[in-house]
């Protein structure tokens, strides 16, 4: 019997799945102590940690904002407020060098007063009055949150207001006295993935358990949620059933009836005023995959199926995102992973299509704010690998206004950012970006990637990577492998389930291409990834160990035999497959890192980083992998933060410590290395 066919019952490390069991935590504390002793001792680590903390806490960072009525809202962390401030100001004040911020909630003070390790998770503000909100706080950064109603006029939590205990809840305002709720109410209320299965309409002052049931999904669904569209003149209610990660159903609520908006399950449907937008993931009749389509909602519900094609992909261009202002639709597209913006405007004679004027073609342009209710305002974050962020505001058709420029966090003199293409095993060209100084090549190189869930990896400015890696002479590489969304849904669909191997072949091809171009050597090439990217790292470790000098795997999936049984894992079976299906386990078992780590191999040193409070990807993935590798005598380090959730850090101090560990590990292994 090979390692890849070991029955689950024979797993000697199942006890490490007991997240907060004392035996498991004793093991965690011992591993943490070993990692800290080996990596966190001495002046170099302390200097690196302090430099990164300085970047994260810098007072001159851009305070990104979201408009709600007359106010711009911001959540801010710094050295004096590690858990953060939720605050607001006006646009007039925001334009000044030092805005006058009104603090709404001081999370540090709240945590201290209540003896809790609160981490901010957001707030849903009631429209149109904007007087109340539903605040979500988590313990230690977990996905599960506590919900509390907050009064934005009196700046205090509402006595006897809407509240929910800790759970992976879904809440949305209907009006001041009613909300939609999906939460844990005991047996049958959650899906197999641990998310709400039932949508209720809860009336203020009544028991939640007695509230009206609006919709029930199936246990095997990922989740369901209800929400209210408060757009003046277009008030409507919807229910969305997420069948799996890529299939959903959207229902329009009409009294006690629910009318399904009849688009393909794997298409994304959204409604704005009179318009229905549909984003296809696979071909739908005459419409290709990756297209954005529009129709009048009332006409569509009446049976009309003629759609206007607003965007159609080609071999180099895909749709990255879109968002409405009051009268216009802004499209962000990727052309060979470079951002372009367009403005579409509905008119009596069709849709007008224009470029968004004045936007610089530098790196990536992210749409970070729009006003879909009252105006055509938008805000853009413009950045590149070596260009710090600039926050730009405008209104469609008007001039652009620079609101904020972030200062440089590292010296980029002599650094360049270039795009190359590697050739994967099946001949597909795989783009990747290289950032660094050519005189330092070949030299220590950090390669990162993700390759899953149609998530695109675009150029970005990182003071952490810049200060901790680039400024010290390292080269940074970002790979755009399949499984992502850089070239639309087909780029992702080529690498799911039975074709998952393409993700790993793509990443391995980039690693080989870096060596062939003389950018690095195998012994000087380190790799890093988190979550699905942590799985990628585990596969590189077990399948391509000869190509790397060091590996960092963060909050990873690794035991793919049991991933669907742990926390939110069942929600990802549309990506990876069902391990309980013999045919699907056959291809999963070929790459599952935990089942494919063997004794007597020449594996590079590896560091695993995770969090006890990660309630999305179970920390046992990393725990069990480390235990097995230690059993085999490999060079493996492990650090598990007790707080932090899926980000493995609950505040900037923890984040600086985590990244300092990662960089210290990589520099120890890669600096000075020439060959293995």
Q: Which residues are catalytic?
A: 531, 646
Alpha-carbon torsion angle 262, 263, 268, 272, nearest 10: -60
Measured between alpha carbons, how far is 636 from 219 in angstroms, rounded to an integer?
39
- Cα–Cα distances (Å) from 4 to 146, 513, 536, 601, 628, in that order, read 41, 30, 17, 16, 13
Contact yes or no for 596/4 (Cβ under 8 A): yes
Side-chain-side CA neighbours of residue 114 (13 Å): 12
Opening angle at CA 503, ends 499 and 507, nearest 5: 150
Q: Taking a C-beta distance cutoff of 8 angstroms, is the pair 109, 102 a contact?
A: no
Q: What is the dihedral of CA 197, 203, 209, 210, to 10 degrees?
A: -110
Q: State phi, psi for 383 to the nearest 5 degrees.
A: -155, 165
Asked if residue 442 has a cis previous peptide bond (ω within 30° of 0), the answer is yes
Question: What are the residues facing 225 on neighbouring strands?
Answer: 240
Kind of pairing between the strands at 550-554 and 525-530:
parallel
For 198-232, b/e burial (b = at least 16 CB within 10 A) is: bbbbbeeeeeeeebeebbebeeebbbbbbbbebbe
47: Cβ contacts below 8 Å, ≥ 6 apart: none
CA distance 560 to 562: 5
Closest CA to 315 of 352, 289, 292, 279: 289
What is the C-alpha separation between 319 and 237, in angstroms, rounded?
A: 27
Q: Any idea which residue has 């407020």 for tokens? A: 81
Specify the residue for token string 């062939």.
Answer: 516
DSSP secondary-structure letter at 504? H
Q: Going by DSSP bridges, is the β-strand pair 145-151/132-139 parallel, antiparallel, or unpaired?
A: antiparallel
């Amino acid at each position: 019997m090979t390692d890849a066919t070991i029955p689950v019952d024979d797993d000697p490390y199942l006890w490490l799945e007991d997240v907060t069991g004392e035996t498991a935590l004793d093991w965690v504390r011992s591993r943490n102590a070993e990692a800290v002793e080996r990596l966190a001792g001495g002046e170099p680590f302390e200097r690196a940690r302090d430099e990164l903390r300085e970047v994260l806490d810098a007072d001159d960072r851009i305070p990104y904002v979201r408009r709600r009525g007359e106010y711009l809202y911001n959540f801010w962390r710094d050295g004096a407020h590690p858990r953060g401030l939720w605050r607001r100001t006006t646009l007039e004040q925001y334009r000044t060098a030092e805005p006058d911020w009104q603090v709404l909630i001081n999370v540090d003070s709240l945590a201290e007063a209540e003896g809790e390790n609160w981490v901010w998770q957001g707030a849903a503000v009631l429209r149109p009055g904007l007087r109340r909100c539903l605040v979500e706080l988590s313990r230690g950064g977990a996905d599960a949150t506590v919900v509390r109603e907050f009064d934005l006029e009196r700046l205090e939590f509402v006595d006897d207001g809407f509240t929910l205990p800790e759970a992976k809840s879904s809440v949305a305002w209907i009006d001041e006295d009613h909300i939609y709720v999906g939460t844990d109410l005991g047996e049958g209320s959650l899906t197999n993935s641990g998310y709400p299965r039932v949508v209720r309409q809860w009336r203020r002052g009544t028991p939640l358990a007695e509230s009206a049931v609006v919709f029930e999904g199936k246990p095997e669904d990922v989740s369901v949620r209800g929400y209210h569209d408060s757009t003046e003149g277009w008030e409507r209610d919807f229910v969305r059933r997420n069948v799996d990660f890529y299939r959903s159903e959207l229902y329009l609520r009409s009294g006690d009836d629910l009318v399904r908006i009849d688009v393909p399950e794997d298409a994304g449907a959204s409604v704005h005023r009179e318009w229905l937008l549909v984003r296809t993931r696979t071909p739908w009749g005459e419409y290709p995959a990756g297209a954005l389509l529009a129709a009048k909602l009332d006409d569509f519900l009446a049976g009309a199926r003629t759609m206007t094609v607003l965007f159609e992909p080609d071999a180099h261009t895909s749709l990255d995102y879109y968002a409405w202002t009051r009268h216009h639709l802004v499209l962000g597209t990727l052309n060979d992973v470079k951002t372009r913006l367009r403005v579409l405007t509905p008119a009596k004679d069709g849709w007008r299509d224009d470029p968004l004027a004045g936007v610089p073609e530098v790196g990536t342009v992210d749409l970070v704010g729009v006003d879909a209710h009252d105006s055509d305002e938008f805000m853009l974050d413009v950045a590149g690998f070596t260009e710090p962020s600039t926050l730009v505001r405008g209104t469609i058709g008007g001039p652009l206004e620079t609101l904020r420029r972030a200062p440089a966090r590292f010296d980029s003199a002599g650094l360049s950012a270039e795009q190359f293409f590697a050739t994967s095993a099946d001949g597909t060209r795989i783009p990747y970006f290289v950032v660094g100084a050519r005189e330092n090549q070949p030299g220590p190189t950090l390669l990162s990637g993700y390759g899953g869930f149609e998530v695109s990896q675009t150029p970005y400015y990182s003071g952490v990577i810049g200060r901790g890696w680039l400024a010290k002479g390292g080269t940074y590489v970002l790979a755009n492998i399949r499984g992502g969304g850089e070239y639309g849904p087909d780029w992702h669909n080529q690498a799911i389930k039975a074709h998952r191997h393409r993700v790993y072949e793509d990443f391995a091809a980039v690693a080989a291409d870096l060596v062939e171009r003389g950018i690095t050597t195998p012994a000087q090439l380190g790799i890093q990834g988190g979550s699905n990217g942590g799985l990628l790292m585990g596969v590189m470790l077990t399948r391509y160990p000869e190509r790397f000098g060091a590996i960092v795997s963060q909050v990873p999936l690794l035991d793919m035999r049991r991933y669907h049984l742990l926390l939110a894992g069942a929600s990802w079976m549309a990506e990876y497959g069902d391990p309980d299906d013999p045919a699907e386990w056959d291809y999963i078992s070929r790459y599952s890192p935990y089942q494919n780590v063997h004794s007597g191999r020449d594996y590079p040193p590896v560091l695993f980083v995770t969090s006890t409070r990660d309630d999305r990807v179970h920390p046992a993935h990393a725990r069990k992998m480390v235990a097995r590798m230690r059993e085999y005598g490999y060079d493996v380090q492990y650090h598990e933060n007790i707080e932090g959730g899926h980000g493995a850090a609950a505040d900037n101090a923890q984040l600086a410590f985590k990244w300092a560990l990662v960089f210290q590990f990589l520099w120890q292994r890669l600096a000075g290395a020439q060959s293995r």
